[in-house]
Amino acid sequence: MALSPPSKTQTVAAIDVGSNAIRMVVAQIDETGRVQTLENLQRAVPLGEDSFPTGHIERETINLAIEVLRGYQKIMEPYHVDRLRAVATSAVREALNQDVFLERVYMSTGINVEVVTGSEEARLLYAAVLDAFQNDRLPPEDMSLIVELGSGSAQLSMFHENKVVFSGTYALGTIRLRKAVSPAHRAPVETVDLIKRFILPSIDVIEHGSPLREIRHFVGVGGDVRFAADQIAKDAGAGARVKTIKRGDFLRFAAAMGKLSAEEVSKKYSLPYQDCDTLGPALLTYAELLRRTPAKAVRVPYVSMRDGILLDFVAENTGRGLDELEEQMFSSAEHIGQRYQHDVEHARHVAFLACQMFDLLADEHRLGRRERRLLKVAALLHEVGMYISNRSHHKHTEYVVNNSDVFGLRVEDRSVAACVARYHRRSLPKTTHANYMALNRADRTTVSKLAALLRVADALDRSHTRKVKDLKVELRRDEAILHVETGEDLTLERLAMRGKGDMFEEVFGKKIILQS
């Protein structure tokens, strides 16, 4: 994420192309990072109604989405928006004709919609939640869970000591729930039983693969849980950014809502019918997750993913929040590495050496903070492929990284990190390597530079004993001399450097010389 110096107030817009609606917020951000909302809009577009059952977004629905986005463009015009970020979530992400949708939107509106991963959704949501809790922080020594049940999927993220320990996306969205219980003329008790039978297998999977039993703070995000907070925690005040519902109160309210039909909910709470159809199933899902934890309350922050996008704009303009973002990303990468039982200490040390070389050679590679971040992620995961097979493990590593949700890593950045990790050994990039050639030219150049540094760093810890504690680089016309501080024998490292220094020499035009 490139930083720009603090400047005059900027007008920004964030568009969320969701599963049942397209939402937009327009805001002003001043040089201190203060955000003032100018517009907050929502229009129903049933993308998920098409995508989830058939995997195909219909032409009429695409036309409606384009119509809504054109309307948003007209609203943005008088504000002279400086920066816009538009993201699409699970409905577009799962559509087989995703490319058709994105291309038609771009041709018709000029808006480049980015399809975000589940981990990027979770990261944006986490940033927004953290901002809402800034005056009432969750104790870092306790395990916290953030749950958002959206229209298409459920996002779960767990944090301990301000680090990600688990993050996952599950097919438990409200549209899927509604379709599971949609047949009419079913008694409420039968509906509740069917909902539980539908959601319990997924929740069992979540419980098996995550530390749900260690959760002390349960944070619920989304319109359905906000509705529950409005009904139960009325004394918190209309302007409260976070409301708290006692565990027993929430479980009782969810059970009561599950027994009501959509017509009864609409009549009792004066809500539009379309908003009532999934309210009971959604609250029952939150309740079932809550039951699997010992949390004593549900904390409900009034935020959305769009708030996270606005905070990204703040970070881009001021640098605020970038350090924490990167720490969460690296923590997530480390937990993925541990899942694949790699040598954790070796990975950390290679990441340290690679980043040290990156900093020392800044004038040579001319890359920025984003690239340094991707180098560290690739270094932390460069040997995970050995879990699959020691033979060609670099190729398995590329596959694992490409198919893992590193918290906060965008799709295009994940592809770069996967290629960098692949080229930590053996062959240099070739035109026959599909994933490498799928990158744009700038990212292919980035991969070559970062992989050259990673190969050198990996060679410096060939023995996996962390002999090299620190290094300095002396550049000459045709040589890069690495001065390392160690009193130990570096025979293995010198041999490894002969095999792995080739990419550095090709990319930077200098032969690596190791001196101790």
Name the pTM for this structure.
0.82
Mean pLDDT for all residues in the chain: 91
Whether residue 279 is predicted with pLDDT greater than 80 in this model: the reply is yes
Question: What pLDDT score does 447 carry?
Answer: 98
Of 404 and 196, the structure prediction assigns the larger pLDDT to 404
Average pLDDT over residues 172-187: 69
Question: How many Cβ atoms from other residues are within 10 Å of residue 485's Cβ?
Answer: 11
Handedness of CA 156, 160, 162, 165 (dihedral sign): negative
Distances (CA, A) of 296 to 235, 247, 249: 19, 5, 10
Query: pLDDT tens digits for 401-453?
Result: 999 988 888 888 999 999 999 999 999 999 999 999 999 999 999 999 999 99
Task: Read off the pLDDT of each residue in 254-261 and give the average, rounded to a whole number.
Answer: 89
pLDDT, average across residues 260-264: 87
pLDDT at 9: 87
Instruction: From 297, 299, 256, select the one nearest 279 (Cα to Cα).
Output: 256
Q: Are 500 and 492 in contact (CB under 8 A)?
A: no
What 3 state SS string does 216-282 have? Answer: EEEEEECHHHHHHHHHHCHHHCCCCCEEEEEHHHHHHHHHHHHCCCHHHHHHHHCCCHHHHCCHHHH
Sign, Cα dihedral of 132, 129, 29, 107: negative
Phi and psi angles of residue 246, each rounded to the nearest 5 degrees, phi first: -65, 150
Helices (H), 10-97: 47-54, 59-76, 90-93
Q: DSSP label at 391?
A: T
The one-letter amino acid at 202: S
Looking at the DSSP bridge assignments, the partners of residue 369 are none
Q: Across residues 216-239, what is the average pLDDT?
A: 87
Instruction: From residue 513, give the alpha-carbon distance in Å to each of 360, 482, 493.
Output: 15, 6, 11
Tokens representing 322 are 């970038």
CB-based contacts of 273, cutoff 8 Å, min separation 6: 262, 263, 266
174 pLDDT above the threshold of 90: no
Q: What is the reported pLDDT for 139? A: 82
The pLDDT, as a whole number, for residue 182 is: 62
Q: Which pLDDT tens digit goes with each residue over 455-511? A: 999 999 999 999 999 999 999 999 999 999 888 899 999 999 999 999 999 999 999
Tokens at 219, concatenated: 């944070």
Longest Cα–Cα distance in the chain = 82
Q: And the tokens for 430? A: 């070739």
Smallest CA-to-CA distance from 436 within 458, 416, 465 is with 416
Residue 321: CB atoms within 10 Å? 18
Q: Rounded to the nearest 5 degrees, what angle is found at the Cα of 137, between the Cα atoms of 131 and 138? A: 115
- Of 217, 232, 180, the C-alpha closest to 293 is 217
DSSP notation for 276-336:
HTTHHHHHHHHHHHHHTS--SEEEEE---HHHHHHHHHHHHHH-TTHHHHHHHHHHHHHHH
pLDDT of 320 strictly over 80: no
Task: Please say if the pLDDT value at position 4 is more than 50.
Answer: no
What are the pLDDT digits (tens) for 284-294?
Answer: 999 999 999 99
Distance of CA 122 to the CA centre of its chain: 5
**Tens-place pLDDT, residues 38-89:** 999 999 999 999 999 899 999 999 999 999 999 999 999 999 999 999 999 9
Put the strands of the sheet holding 215-221 in their side by side order. 163-170, 154-160, 143-149, 215-221, 297-301, 242-246
DSSP label at residue 139:
P
Q: Domains (ranges, CATH) in the chain?
A: 10-116 (3.30.420.40), 119-305 (3.30.420.150), 321-465 (1.10.3210.10)
Upper half-sphere CA count for residue 150 (Cβ side, 13 Å): 27
For 454, other C-beta atoms within 10 Å of its C-beta total 29
pLDDT in tens, 121-155: 888 998 899 889 876 777 888 999 999 998 888 99
Residue 202, judged by CB atoms within 10 A of its CB (0-12, 13-18, 19+), counts as middle
The pLDDT, as a whole number, for residue 2 is 43
Q: How confident is the model at residue 5 (pLDDT cuts 50, 70, 90)?
A: very low
Higher pLDDT, 328 or 89: 89
Question: In whole angstroms, how large is the CA radius of gyration of the chain?
Answer: 25
Exposed e or buried b for every residue in 160-190, given b needs 16+ CB within 10 A? beebbbbbbbbebbbbbbbbebeeeeeeeee
